[in-house]
Amino acid sequence: QSALTQPPSASGSPGQSVTISCTGTSSDVGGYNYVSWYQQYPGKAPKLMIYEVTKRPSGVPDRFSGSKSGNTASLTVSGLQAEDEADYYCSRSYPGSNNWVFGGGTRLTVL
Amino acid sequence: QVQLVGSGGGVVQPGGSLRLSCAASGFTFSSYGMHWVRQAPGKGLEWVSFILYDGSYKSHADSVRGRFTISRDNSKDTVFLQMNSLRAADTAVYYCVRDRHGNYAFDYWGQGTLVTVSS
C-alpha cells in the first residue's frame, strides 16, 4: 500500500490563498481521478471537502478547490479564514484496488 | 440526517479481543458500503477495513489482515469490527465511515470510539 506524500505544515494570512500538495505515483494519483480531501479539527471526526480530484460536496464553500497535475493532487484554499485552520488529509483509491490510502496530513495554520 | 454512532471501545490487554459496533440511521444502510478508519493518538488517518453494501466483498489493510474482521447486519443497520490478537499499535480512535458509492471517497463519519490496548 504505497503512501501519499503531503507537507507536514502550511500557512497563510487571512484573505490569502494556500495550496496543499499530495503526491502519489503514476499507478494511483496519476492514473485515476479518485483523490479526495478531508478537513479535521482537533478532537473531531474528519469531513469530506473534495472528491474525484475537483468535486465539492454540497455545503462545502467554493473557497475550497481541487486540482491535479501528473502524480500530484492539490487542495487550494482561497480567501483564507481563521476557521480554515485544521488538519487536511488526502486519500486515494481506484477501480480494482482493494485498499484506500491516506496521506500523512498537513496542518494548516492561519497566521 | 445521516448518523453513525459507534460503540464497543475500551481498554483491553495485549492479545485480547474487542468488537466494535456502528449503528447507522438517516439513510438506506443496505445500499452503501461501509469502512472503518482509525487514528492513533497524535497521528494521521489509517484505513482499516471495507465491506460492500450486501456483505459480499470485504477488504482489510495489511496491518490488520488475519486479526480483524468486518461484518454487517443490514436488518439492524449496523456494521461491526471484530478485533482479535490486539497489539499496542492498534490503540486508536476508530471511526465508522460511509462509502461514497462510485467515488472512492468517505462521505459521512461517525464520532469515533477509542480503543486502548495496554497491560
d(CA A52, CA B46): 19
Whether residue B109 has pLDDT greater than 70: yes
Interface test with B, best of A33, A41, A48, A89 (most B CBs within 10 A): A48
Q: Quick one: pLDDT at residue A2?
A: 59
Measure B39 CA to nearest chain A CA, in Å.
Answer: 10
Mean pLDDT of A3-31: 95
Mean pLDDT of A55-61: 96
Q: Which residues have C-beta within 8 Å of that of residue A61, sequence separation ≥ 6? A: none
d(CA B11, CA B63): 20
Mean pLDDT of B67-83: 98
Whether residue A21 has pLDDT greater than 60: yes
Instruction: Identify the three-state secondary structure at position B106.
Output: strand
Whether residue A91 has pLDDT greater than 80: yes
Q: Quick one: pLDDT at residue B23?
A: 98
Mean pLDDT of A79-93: 97
d(CA A104, CA B44): 6
Measure A69 CA to nearest chain B CA, in Å.
Answer: 19
Of A45, A51, A103, the CB nearest to B111: A45
Amino acid identity at A104: G
Question: What's the grid cell of residue A46?
Answer: 474528519
Q: Quick one: pLDDT at residue A3?
A: 85
Mean pLDDT of A26-44: 94
Q: What angle do CA A12, A80, B39 make, to 5 degrees?
A: 80
E strand spans, chain B: 3-7, 10-12, 18-25, 34-39, 45-51, 58-60, 68-73, 78-83, 92-100, 105-109, 113-117
Instruction: Identify the three-state secondary structure at position A50.
Output: strand
**Beta-carbon neighbour count of residue A59 at 10 Å?**
7
Residue the block writes with cell 490478537? B85
pLDDT tens per residue across span B8-19: 999 999 999 999
In which band, very low, low, confident or very high, does the pLDDT at A24 lie, cut at 50, 70 and 90? very high
Strands A106-110 and A9-12: parallel
Mark out chain A residues that contact chain B at CB-CB < 8 A: 1, 34, 36, 38, 40, 45-48, 51-52, 55, 57, 89, 91-94, 98-105
Q: Quick one: pLDDT at residue A16?
A: 97
Amino acid identity at B90: D
What does the CA dihedral B12, B14, B15, B21 come to, rounded to 10 degrees?
30
Strand ranges across the sheet with A64-69? A18-23, A72-77, A64-69
Q: What percent of chain B has pLDDT over 70?
A: 100
Q: Quick one: pLDDT at residue A95?
A: 84
Of A1, A38, A51, the CB nearest to B103: A51
d(CA A107, CA A4): 15
